[in-house]
């Protein structure tokens, strides 16, 4: 909290000037602080009379920190299929668990009665073992056929309370973003959303959770040293899954949840795929992306032509989306989609960090930019320095020529 010593305050207004949030102002002969104070301390630094004091309440470490052990991955299951992000997280979780010398477990919630379009719940439990899990907690109940925040949240939180894993990871998908914060709240745990890197701090085994901060201008590494579990979400396609190994041995542990904990206050009537899901950038092997360098909607049409010639999908930087050349579902980056195709061709995109976080896991990155200093060339496998209005038509011509040979 920010403590104001009314005797010492001379109402000089320096604190008001220093506060970028407008959270402190002088009223009468003393400063007063509002609810939007972020406790940044800028006012304390400029106060010349020592009237302001920042009192930070240190949270006491949990008494039983050492009794939490193991790494868990929430494996999302919809319509009879595992979401690929669960396997990607097992790849990352395997490394963390090995560093800690603890088992890696997956938690699979759903209904075996609903085999949907995929393999079905039991088969997917075996898939999780083949991709690195030592254990799978399998909760198969008709009440879990449709996702609901409260039932899924209760079941996962109860399992965590019972088995005490030190780390819980989940995908930052629509489902993960919806109920994982609820689980963290129920467990009074911290949660770092949208991590791009995870590691273990050797001295104390704490989870190092790295994610972009301040609009992507810095990478922040966040640690939760005093509470357990340490919880993080990771966007799809950021981590790499392990190759499937059907020879791996693992234990599948059926769990019967308390029926009272499966009650939901929400009835799901229908699930409809939104516009965002209909653009299948995530599944395309080749993605051709255009940025501000295309200059006009007509210029952007070149990107579509190149994508057509390659049989790829079309993506864009935020600048292109903001210019109205292509709708938002095609945006790649921090506030758009994350993609990891075999080939990503960036045309007239400078390579701002907010764009890079959405595409830097692509296997091969080809950048076309007339500025040899453009940051996109720092991540590009192949760079073409040139005017895209000359380069792209030549590429299309060559591709079409090859096709007719
Ligand atoms: P510019 O940076 O303007 O780059 C245009 C490039 O085209 C330049 O490098 C130029 O040399 C090149 N060029 C111009 N003409 C030609 C030509 N004739 N031939 C060849 N090259 C040419 N951005 C995203 O993309 N995705 C996001 O999700 C995203 N989220 C954001 C979130 C936040 C909180 C913030 C603050 C920003 C975000 N941004 C995002 C915006 C990001 O910072 C950049 O502004 C944006 O990516 C720039 O887009 P651009 O590269 O197309 O445009």
Cα separation, 297 vs 246, in Å, equals 49
Q: What is the pLDDT of residues 38-83, one digit of tens each?
A: 888 999 999 999 999 998 777 777 778 889 999 999 999 987 889 9
Q: Which residues contact 90 (CB under 8 A, 6 or more apart)?
A: 73, 75, 104, 106, 128, 131, 132, 133, 241, 242
* DSSP helix/strand/coil, 386: coil
What's the Cα-to-Cα distance from 91 to each of 75, 88, 243, rounded to whole Å? 12, 5, 9
Looking at per-residue confidence, does 274 or 18 come out higher? 18
Q: Is the CB of 111 within 6 Å of ligand 1?
A: no
The C-alpha atoms of residue 194 and residue 385 are separated, in whole angstroms, by: 33
Instruction: Choose the residue to mutate in 281, 332, 348, 380 for probing ligand 1, maximizing ligand atoms within 8 Å of C-beta.
Output: 348
What pTM value is reported for the model? 0.69
How high is the mean pLDDT of the chain?
A: 92
Which protein residue has the closest C-alpha to ligand 1 atom 53? 292
The confidence band for 215, taking pLDDT boundaries of 50, 70 and 90, is low
> In residues, how long is the chain?
405
What is the CB-side half-sphere exposure of residue 87 using CA atoms within 13 A? Answer: 19
Per-residue pLDDT of 143-168, as tens digits, reads: 999 999 999 999 999 999 999 999 99
Q: Give me the mean pLDDT over the 246-255 stretch.
A: 96
| Nearest-angstrom CA–CA distance, 67 and 73 | 19
The encoded tokens of residue 75 equal 């494996």
Cα→Cα distances 75→146, 201, 348, Å: 15, 25, 38
Q: Model confidence over 357-377: pLDDT tens digits? A: 999 989 999 999 999 999 999
* Binding site membership of 335 for ligand 1 (Cβ less than 6 Å): yes
Q: Which two tokens stand for residue 18?
A: 């220093």
* E-state strands within 338-378: 343-347, 364-369
């Amino acid at each position: 909290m920010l403590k104001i010593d009314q005797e010492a305050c001379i109402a000089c207004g320096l604190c008001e000037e220093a506060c970028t949030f407008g959270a402190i102002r002088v009223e009468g002969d003393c400063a007063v602080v509002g609810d939007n104070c972020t406790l940044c301390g800028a006012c304390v630094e400029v106060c010349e009379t020592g009237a302001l004091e920042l009192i930070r309440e240190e949270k006491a470490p949990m008494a039983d920190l050492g009794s939490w052990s193991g790494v868990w991955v929430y494996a999302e299951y919809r319509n009879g299929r595992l979401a690929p992000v669960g396997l990607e997280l097992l790849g990352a979780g395997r490394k963390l668990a090995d560093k800690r010398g603890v088992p890696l477990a997956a938690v699979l919630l759903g209904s075996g009665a609903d085999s949907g379009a995929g393999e079905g719940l039991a088969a997917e439990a075996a898939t999780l073992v083949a991709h690195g899990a030592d254990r799978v907690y399998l909760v198969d109940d008709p009440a879990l056929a449709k996702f609901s925040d409260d039932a899924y949240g209760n079941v996962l939180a109860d399992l965590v309370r019972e088995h005490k894993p030190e780390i819980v990871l989940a995908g930052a998908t629509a489902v993960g973003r919806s109920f994982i914060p609820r689980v963290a709240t129920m467990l009074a745990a911290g949660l770092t959303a949208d991590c791009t890197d995870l590691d273990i701090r050797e001295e104390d085994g704490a989870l190092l959770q790295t994610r972009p901060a301040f609009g992507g201008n810095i990478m922040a590494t966040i640690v939760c040293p005093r509470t357990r579990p340490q919880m993080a979400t990771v966007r799809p396609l950021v981590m790499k899954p392990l190759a499937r190994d059907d020879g791996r041995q693992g234990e599948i542990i059926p769990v019967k949840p308390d029926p009272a904990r499966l009650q939901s206050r929400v009835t799901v009537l229908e699930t409809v795929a939104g516009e965002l899901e209909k653009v299948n950038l995530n599944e395309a092997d080749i993605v051709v992306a255009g940025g501000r360098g295309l200059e006009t909607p007509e210029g952007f049409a070149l990107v579509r032509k190149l994508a057509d010639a390659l049989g790829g999908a079309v993506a864009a930087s935020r600048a292109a989306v903001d210019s109205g050349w292509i709708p938002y579902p095609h945006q790649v980056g921090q506030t758009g989609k994350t993609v990891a195709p075999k080939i990503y061709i960036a045309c007239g995109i400078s390579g701002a960090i907010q764009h890079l976080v959405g595409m830097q896991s692509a296997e091969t990155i080809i950048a076309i930019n007339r500025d040899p200093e453009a940051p996109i060339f720092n991540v590009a496998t192949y760079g073409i320095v040139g005017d895209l209005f000359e380069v792209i038509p030549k590429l299309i011509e060559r591709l079409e020529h090859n096709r007719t040979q």
